[in-house]
Chains A and B, each alone.
Chain A
Amino acid sequence: DVKVTQSSRYLVKRTGEKVFLECVQDMDHENMFWYRQDPGLGLRLIYFSYDVKMKEKGDIPEGYSVSREKKERFSLILESASTNQTSMYLCASSFRGPNNEQFFGPGTRLTVL
């Protein structure tokens, strides 16, 4: 069974704090993704990575950065959290090929006060 795990289910941070969200997958997937999910807006891609140390901006990268030092781990970093970054964050992973079903983690509900 594919397993994608995220470091926290719930997180509360203060404005201006640096926030780290971590995602780990155990299926040797090349691709890893970070999305945010907001009501009425669906799933919006923040960043994705197709290999170690490689990253590509998604649709809404502003205010975020990422790190992929190991194949199984993909971190999302909020350099200076703001209230408009309060959201559900979902990590996903997939193989690189055409049959690229994305497997999602359970999500992290981040609240920035």
Chain B
Amino acid sequence: GENVEQHPSTLSVQEGDSAVIKCTYSDSASNYFPWYKQELGKRPQLIIDIRSNVGEKKDQRIAVTLNKTAKHFSLHITETQPEDSAVYFCAARESGYSTLTFGKGTMLLVSP
């Protein structure tokens, strides 16, 4: 089965800095890579996703990059704000399956 590794487990940045969270996956058949954000006490919510036929996707201050050869993908947040503080989960879905395999999460703390 799929295995997803996520780093770092915690990340502290100053407001306005950029933050990068990295994930690797094991199954080359995986073709869908979403990122979920979970604010304290709330449910995880999808913030951005990327499919294996695309190398990069942007949505305002967040972007995701995918390197299929190296089997890793990353979340980039620019101009971080305190409201970006949350736990971020990466995930991977194998082609033909409905289930996601999640990374262990990164706690991002943005200090004003």
Contacts and interface: CB of A to CB of B under 8 A. Distances in A.
Q: Do A and B bind each other?
A: yes
Interface of A: 4, 31, 33, 40-45, 48, 50, 56, 58-59, 90, 94, 96, 98, 100-102, 104-107
A42 B44 CA distance: 11
Interface residues of B, number: 21
Contact of B89 (A31, A42, A56, A59): A42
Interface string B1-15: 100001001000000
Given A48-B99, A50-B98, A102 B43 contact: no
Contacts, number: 47
A64 B11 CA distance: 34
Contact of B105 (A42, A45, A104): A42
Nearest to A50: B98
Contact of A45 (B6, B9, B49, B99): B99
B96 to A, nearest CB: 10
Top-9 shortest CB links A-B? A42-B104, A104-B43, A43-B102, A42-B102, A42-B105, A101-B46, A104-B44, A31-B98, A106-B43
Interface string B92-112: 010000111111110000000
Contact of B46 (A33, A41, A102): A102
B98 A101 contact: no
Given A100-B32, A100-B98, 13 more contacts: A4-B43, A42-B6, A42-B89, A42-B103, A42-B104, A44-B102, A56-B99, A90-B44, A94-B98, A98-B32, A101-B34, A101-B49, A102-B46
A39 to B, nearest CB: 9
A50 B99 CA distance: 10
B28 interface: no
Contact of A90 (B34, B43, B49): B43
